[in-house]
């Protein structure tokens, strides 16, 4: 029965593509057609721009798009985290207002979670949202916010109650990033990019209908966002792909989107370690003849393949409809270890030349960019230490570490005090 349904689905898709694909269409026009037909996100509910297909059909659909040479929807980045969160926790108003424009790519999103004073302790957020009259008024500061300087909307975690334990006092909002009172300041990174921002919120406003779930349920909603982020960590290597090369208006607009809206993510392949460059460089430099370096290359390739399999298990679980779980942390930690070892191997292979940036450096400076980018893999989406805690407690069943800040009101917890 499943094979028959797959065959019928693919036949229907082929007919639709034959009737509708035209590389001279505009990119937004084409994505609008994908939204209306449900072929852009086929595993989504039919009433919300999908086709109610099993998640396992998505790779088959994608392969058919590739075979046809047609562009698909970009499924990486914060906007997909927003979509996953809205589908699971949002209201019908949220789904009506945001999901279609997420598919078309007309809206840029950012994630307002991390703060300067709480580090990896996300539940320690101090940004406040207070109901004043008929709207929420938000004050605080967020940091490490990718694309905030370009974003239309932000996924905001803010504190609405200081008289309950910290996890219970958080609420989740969709924030208009274009309003007065929201200031995004890019932070220059050591790799030369400026994709992260610090965001200052001064009397920013959120209408009640843009709150996601009830007050005090923000931690549960944020956990959904984070689990999708960790599970999708490996997909960031392909961020910015415009599909198969071709000529026509749609390809030109897709490339322009990569140069603009996707520019903050252009260095993400480097932060992942660029394992694909190791063997070519080893042959080019002759390092492949060094038995010690060969051993390190072999170790890297084994670890990389293991990480790929871990990611495949996570995607298979998702395709089978299983809820987000700790396997995302396993994949996230594995990706971090691969990036760290890859940087070490690149250094062994290229020697001192690995420090040369710019067009005169190895691979036009890409190796040097890897060396100053890979530390981000151990921080973004939750530090390695956070992932190890999750794995130890939720996978291995080990006792939780002793905490003194989870069973008393948030206002009574000392924070960043100096005696």
Task: Quick: pLDDT tens for 208-265.
Answer: 999 999 999 999 999 999 888 776 654 444 443 444 567 899 999 998 888 887 788 8
DSSP β-bridge partners for residue 342:
none
Same domain, 258 and 273: no
Residue 411 lies in a domain: no
Of 60-64, 262-266, 290-294, which gets the smallest average pLDDT?
A: 262-266
Same domain, 162 and 126: yes
Same domain, 215 and 311: no
Residue range 203-207: average pLDDT? 98
| Token pair recorded at residue 299 | 């170790």
Total count of residues recorded for the chain:
419
279 contacts 297 by C-beta, under 8 angstroms: yes
Residue range 93-99: average pLDDT? 97
Of 64-73, 167-176, 314-323, 328-337, which gets the smallest average pLDDT?
A: 314-323
pLDDT at 176 over 80: yes
Cα(383)–Cα(329) distance, integer angstroms: 10
pLDDT band at 110 (very low <50, low <70, confident <90, very high): very high
Of 154-168, 230-244, 250-264, 375-389, which gets the smallest average pLDDT?
A: 230-244
Torsion of CA 8, 12, 18, 23, to 10 degrees: -110
Whose structure tokens read 């956070």? Answer: 386
Q: How many domains does the chain have?
A: 3
Say how many CA atoms lie within 13 Å of 4 toward its Cβ: 1
Q: What is the mean pLDDT of the chain?
A: 89
Residue range 48-70: average pLDDT? 90
Structure confidence at residue 214 (pLDDT): 96
Residue 99 lies in a domain: no
Residue 386 lies in a domain: no
Residue range 195-201: average pLDDT? 94
Residue range 337-347: average pLDDT? 97
Structure confidence at residue 231 (pLDDT): 65
Structure confidence at residue 239 (pLDDT): 41
Helix orientation angle between 291-319 and 327-350, rounded to the nearest 10 degrees: 160
Same domain, 125 and 179: yes
| Token pair recorded at residue 385 | 């230490």
| Token pair recorded at residue 234 | 């490996």
27 contacts 254 by C-beta, under 8 angstroms: yes
Say how many CA atoms lie within 13 Å of 233 toward its Cβ: 33
Structure confidence at residue 349 (pLDDT): 97
Residue 94 lies in a domain: no
Same domain, 301 and 327: yes
Residue 413 lies in a domain: no
Domain at 188, CATH number = 2.40.110.10
Same domain, 252 and 365: no
Cα(105)–Cα(300) distance, integer angstroms: 36
Residue range 149-174: average pLDDT? 96
Structure confidence at residue 317 (pLDDT): 67
Same domain, 371 and 278: yes
Cα(103)–Cα(195) distance, integer angstroms: 22
pLDDT at 101 over 80: yes
Same domain, 271 and 258: no
pLDDT at 2 over 60: no
pLDDT at 181 over 50: yes
Domain extent for 40: 3-76+243-262
Say how many CA atoms lie within 13 Å of 101 toward its Cβ: 11
The helix (run of H) or strand (run of E) holding residue 63 is helix 58-68
The residue among 93, 118, 97, 121 whose CA lies nearest residue 109 is 97
Helices (H), 260-375: 268-271, 278-285, 291-319, 327-350, 366-373
Residue 96 lies in a domain: no
267 contacts 369 by C-beta, under 8 angstroms: yes
Same domain, 254 and 284: no
Same domain, 116 and 223: yes
The helix (run of H) or strand (run of E) holding residue 203 is strand 196-206
> Mind giving me the DSSP string for 98-157?
IIHHHHHT-S-EEEE---TTTTT-GGG---EEEEETTEEEEEEEE-S-TTTTT-SEEEEE
Same domain, 43 and 122: no
Residue 405 lies in a domain: no
170 contacts 160 by C-beta, under 8 angstroms: yes
Same domain, 223 and 252: no
| Geometric angle at alpha carbon 373, from 372 and 376, rounded to 5° | 125
Residue 419 lies in a domain: no
pLDDT in tens, 5-41: 888 999 999 999 999 999 999 999 999 999 999 999 9
pLDDT at 376 over 80: yes
In angstroms, the Cα distances linking 326 to 55, 122, 222, 286, 335 are 19, 17, 15, 41, 15
Structure confidence at residue 315 (pLDDT): 67
Structure confidence at residue 234 (pLDDT): 47
Q: Which has more confidence, 232 or 342?
A: 342
pLDDT band at 324 (very low <50, low <70, confident <90, very high): low
Residue range 191-210: average pLDDT? 94
DSSP β-bridge partners for residue 171:
158
């Amino acid at each position: 029965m499943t094979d028959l349904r797959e065959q019928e689905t693919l036949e229907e898709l082929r007919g639709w593509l034959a009737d509708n694909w035209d590389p001279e269409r505009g990119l937004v026009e084409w994505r609008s057609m994908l939204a209306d037909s449900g072929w852009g996100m086929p595993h989504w509910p039919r009433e919300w721009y999908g086709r109610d297909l099993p998640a396992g059909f998505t790779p088959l659909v994608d392969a058919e798009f590739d075979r046809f040479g047609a562009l698909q929807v970009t499924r990486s980045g914060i906007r997909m985290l927003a979509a996953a969160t809205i589908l699971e926790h949002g209201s019908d108003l949220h789904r009506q207002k945001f999901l279609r424009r997420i598919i078309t790519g007309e809206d840029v999103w950012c994630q307002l979670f991390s703060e300067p004073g709480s580090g990896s302790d996300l539940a320690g957020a101090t940004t406040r949202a207070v109901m004043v009259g008929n709207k929420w008024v938000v004050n605080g500061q967020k940091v490490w916010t990718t694309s905030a300087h370009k974003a239309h909307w932000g996924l905001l975690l803010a504190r609405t109650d200081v008289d309950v334990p910290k996890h219970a006092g958080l609420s989740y909002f969709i924030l208009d990033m274009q309003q007065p009172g929201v200031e995004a300041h890019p932070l220059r990174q050591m790799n030369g990019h400026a994709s992260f921002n610090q965001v200052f919120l001064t009397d920013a406003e959120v209408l009640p209908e843009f709150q996601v779930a009830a007050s005090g349920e923000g931690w549960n909603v944020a956990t959904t966002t984070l689990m999708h982020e960790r599970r999708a960590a490996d997909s960031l290597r392909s961020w910015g792909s415009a599909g198969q090369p071709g000529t026509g208006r749609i390809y030109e607009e897709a490339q322009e989107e990569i140069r603009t809206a996707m520019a903050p993510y252009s260095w993400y392949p480097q932060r992942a370690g660029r394992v694909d460059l190791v063997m070519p460089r080893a042959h080019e430099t002759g390092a492949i003849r060094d038995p010690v370096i060969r051993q390190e290359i072999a170790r890297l390739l084994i670890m990389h393949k293991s990480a790929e399999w871990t990611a495949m298990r996570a995607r298979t679980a998702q395709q089978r409809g299983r809820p987000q779980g700790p396997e995302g942390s396993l994949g996230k930690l594995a990706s971090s270890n691969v990036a760290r070892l890859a940087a070490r191997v690149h250094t062994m292979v290229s020697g001192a030349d690995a420090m040369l940036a710019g067009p005169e450096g190895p691979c036009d400076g890409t190796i040097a960019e890897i060396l100053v980018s890979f530390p981000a893999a151990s921080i973004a989406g939750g530090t390695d230490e956070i992932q190890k805690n999750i794995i130890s407690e939720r996978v291995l069943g080990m006792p939780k570490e002793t905490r003194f800040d989870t069973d008393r009101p948030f206002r009574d917890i000392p924070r960043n005090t100096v005696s």
